[in-house]
A and B are shown apart, each in its own frame.
Chain A
Amino acid sequence: MALSSEQLERYSRHIILKEVGLRGQKKLLNAKVLIIGAGGLGSPAAMYLAAAGVGTIGIADADEVDLSNLQRQILHGNADVGKPKVDSAKETMAALNPDVQVITHHLFVNAENIMDLIEPYDFILDGTDNFAAKFLINDACVLAGKPFCHAGIIRFHGQLMTYVPGKGPCYRCVFRQPPPKNAVPTCREAGVIGAMAGVIGCMQALEAVKYIVGVGDLLIGRLLTFDALDMEAHVIQLPDNPDCPVCGAHPTILQPFDEGVVECDLK
């Protein structure tokens, strides 16, 4: 596949990077990334991945744009309130870069649909806001052998880690099972600074790009935490967990399941 002269110009700042080059840009154009959640984290991730020329971007979300989303969910604008988030997301990405094929999945992820949903994609970004979905995405990616990047944000804090099959611990190795409903605060209850979604969502996009191009060290076996009040990032080494029920030596989770009783109270 040869790049057009317009593409050579559009991606010139990538191509000039020795870590990316023409080869890396072609990998991006051939890559398929799924973003689950077209919200705070998914917005900057989707926009940078679209701008980067990731050839196919799937975006999954069942919700409509709400006025309270606009403080941080930069995929969506004032005129999009009430519109399905996936439609608004597709319009924004298409306007950024016509090279990108955007596939919308207007649905809640659940145990029934997640394996089919993730199957066509090379890399998955978790931009969801509730623990049931986060554990579901983790389990499905482990079972399907798909790499993914987990992230979470609250108040002035954010964190992310990347799972690559066979290379390091998964989200369940660290966090075991979702906390009970309302046991830990959510962004709705506790708030979140809008730019924190930008910082962490962009880092998720970086992880996806690095994975696709094949450069650098991913956050495998490491949890990066970022505190915006004291402007400090900290990387926690994650030990392996041979007792992990999904990726450990003797797994007991053999298919995805819905952690229905522990969903966060968001409505």
Chain B
Amino acid sequence: MMIQVSGKKTEVENGITVMQLMEQQKVETPQYVTVAVNNAFLPMDCYECFSLKEGDAVEFLYFMGGGCDGAEQ
């Protein structure tokens, strides 16, 4: 089936879970990535069991520090 991952059309297996998609997409530290499906945040404990449907739009939101390196703590 076809879904959108980070705005790009992506072919995936039917019924793929969010966690399986994260593995396929080589998402680093998935337990610290916020996921939105069809513009709604997915609770973290649903990543393993939430199955995606045809046409779903998935976004991964990553923690990004960076900035000044050394300042503020």
Which residues of A line the B interface, CB within 8 A? 36-42, 61-63, 66, 68-69, 73, 85, 108-109, 126-134, 151-154, 157-159, 174-176, 178-179, 183-188, 192, 197, 223, 234, 236-239, 241, 263-264, 266-267
For B73, the chain A residues whose CB sits under 8 A away are 108, 130, 132-133, 263-264, 266
Known contacts A223-B61, A241-B41; decide if A129 and B34 are in contact (CB<8 Å): no
A36 to B72 alpha-carbon distance, docked (Å): 8
Task: Please state if A63 and B63 are interface contacts (CB–CB under 8 Å).
Answer: no
8 Å CB interface, B19-33 against A = 28-29, 32
- Check B65–A239 contact: CB distance below 8 A: no
Residue of chain A at shortest CB distance from B7: A234
**Size bin of chain B's contact surface:** 20 to 34
Where the two chains meet, the residues of B that have a C-beta atom closer than 8 Å to any C-beta of A are 6-7, 28-29, 32, 34, 36, 39-41, 59, 61-73
B69 engages A40 (CB within 8 Å)? yes
Specify which chain B residues have a CB less than 8 angstroms from the CB of A175 in the assembled complex: 34, 61, 63
Q: Give the complex CA separation of A197 and B69 in angstroms.
A: 11
The closest CB in chain B to the CB of A150 belongs to B64
Distance in angstroms from A164 CB to nearest chain B CB is: 19
The answer to whether A73 and B68 have CB atoms under 8 Å apart is yes
> Are A236 and B32 interface neighbours, CB within 8 A?
no
5 smallest CB-CB distances across A and B, nearest first, come from A39-B68, A152-B64, A153-B66, A37-B68, A129-B67
Given A174-B34, A184-B32, A239-B39, the answer on whether A39 and B70 have CB atoms closer than 8 Å is: yes
Picked from B41, B59, B61, B69, the residue with its CB within 8 Å of the CB of A187 is B69
A38: contacting residue among B6, B29, B63, B71, CB under 8 A: B71
With both beta carbons as reference points, the residue of chain B lying nearest to A159 in the complex is identified as B64
**CB pair A130 B65 closer than 8 Å:** yes
Contact B59 A39 (CB under 8 A): no
Q: Are A39 and B69 in contact (CB under 8 A)?
A: yes
Cβ-defined contact, B67 with A126, below 8 A: yes
Quick one: which of B39, B61, B68 contacts A128, CB cutoff 8 A? B68
A154→B64 contact, CB < 8 A: yes
A237 CA / B54 CA spacing, docked (Å) = 20
Q: Which residues of the partner chain A approach B67 to less than 8 Å between Cβ atoms?
A: 37, 39-42, 126-129, 151-153, 187, 197
Whether the Cβ atoms of B41 and A40 lie closer than 8 Å is no
Q: How far is the CA of A36 from the CA of B63 in the complex (A)?
A: 18
User: Is the pair B70, A63 in contact by a Cβ cutoff of 8 Å?
Assistant: yes
Q: Which residue of A130, A158, A185, A237 has the most chain B CB atoms within 10 A of its CB atom?
A: A130
Q: How far is the CA of A134 from the CA of B66 in the complex (A)?
A: 10
B residues less than 8 Å from A264 (CB atoms): 65, 73
